[in-house]
Amino acid sequence: MSYHFLDDGHVSSPQGYRATGVSAGLKDGRARDLALIHALRPCRVAAIFTRNAVVAAPIFFNQAILARSHENTRAVLINAGQANAATGPAGLADAVESAKVVADELEIPRDSVLLMSTGQIGVPLPMPRMREGIRRAASELDSGGGRRAAIAILTNEARPKERALRVALREGHTLRLGGMAKGSRFSMPRQGTVLALVTTDAMLDQRLLMRALDRSFECSFGRILIDGESSPNDGVILLANGAAGGAPILDATSWEYGAFQEALDVLCSDLAQQVVRDAASGGKQIVVHVRGALSAASARQVATAVARSPAVRWVCAHARSDWGALLVAVGESGVEIRADLLDLRIGPVPLMSAGVQVAARSGAITQALAGPEIEIGIDLHLGTHQAEIWACTLPGEGIS
């Protein structure tokens, strides 16, 4: 292990970043609702955006910017309160103007600003408040402002989600990664936006940066299934400014790249699990692990079917020993199953072995379902692939 977590680390812990979060009046009350992160030097960027066919204006804006260059990003503006989704051409114009104001205030190129938004869909941005908030944020930026930024991107969550770590390289060199995330669940509409911004002072080839984010996403944010829907605003952005110095990381087989990848995996996983824990407030966390599948896609399909199953979530919420819902969900997943090979368990308690029920006491099953975290294990015994999904029950799902 070449990394360790920083005490009170945040998104501006790496060298060469400033951040803040201010109250711009975008949400009810005086809560912080506008975050600004500024890189003191141009950043290479990797990004993964929503799979939803309906794309919010800030995501469309980012895609247009990144289609031209992945090596010139200097700032990220994130607002809470309004998602700027389903707002038509006017919403896109507001996004363009927001980026322009940021660029003018920070005296950076206008195509070096990226945007993220979260909040109510269909509501336009209150641009007079946005302009004033951006100007105030630009004047309050500092290297210790990451916590303010993490608070400002929240909507209905209980707590900010942030982390940073230091990576030790050879010859005494070090680099840092920091990040923040938000993710929630609404009752109406049933969709929650997941946003994450990760910063690093490492210098990587842009293709390696995207490769690293792709892998880390799959083992972190890509495992989250809170309500089964992707928001028009979902996005994960990774910035790398090279401020740590040292030789750039250009080789995917190098020790330095492996150390960076390990640290990024850990950071993204930590942030994603914070999202799930927050969403599970008042409910239970559920980890569904599928192994022995013929392909990674089929393993994920089974895990997703189980995590989405209302019956399975009901059993978990109620801590009932009737585990038949789990077997039904596996069988209905659409993946080829050999029932005579199937193993199922909840926590340490085996339920089925080689397709035959194991004589587990109902009390043991109930106990395995009683805690705040529930692990469901499924072994198809058909191949070597596996997948894991992080889900949770929501408040109200345990009500009879």
- Active-site positions read 193
User: Which DSSP symbol is given to 249?
Assistant: B
Residue 165's contacts (CB-CB under 8 Å, 6 or more residues apart) are 3, 4, 5, 6, 9, 176, 177, 178, 263, 266, 267
The torsion region of residue 174 among left (phi > 0), alpha (psi -120 to 50) and beta comes to beta
For 76, the enclosing helix (H) or strand (E) is strand 73-82
Burial of 328 (0-12, 13-18, 19+ CB in 10 A): middle
Q: How many CB atoms lie within 10 A of CB 156?
A: 15
Output phi, psi for 107, to 5 deg. 55, 55
In whole angstroms, give the CA distance from residue 12 to residue 9.
Answer: 8
Over its C-alpha atoms, the chain yields an Rg (Å, rounded) of 22
In whole angstroms, give the CA distance from residue 55 to residue 64.
Answer: 12
Closest CA to 179 of 267, 255, 109: 267
DSSP for 195-211? EEEEEE---B-HHHHHH
User: Which DSSP symbol is given to 131?
Assistant: H
Q: Are 61 and 92 in contact (CB under 8 A)?
A: yes
In whole angstroms, give the CA distance from residue 213 to residue 219.
Answer: 10
Show contacts of 317-324: CB within 8 Å, 24+ apart. 317/283, 317/284, 317/393, 317/397, 317/398, 318/398, 318/400, 319/366, 319/369, 319/370, 320/366, 320/369, 321/362, 321/363, 321/365, 321/366, 321/369, 323/351, 323/365
Q: Cα–Cα–Cα angle for 328, 390, 277, nearest 5°?
A: 130
CA distances from residue 145 to 152, 154, 208, 349 in whole angstroms, order as listed: 11, 15, 29, 46
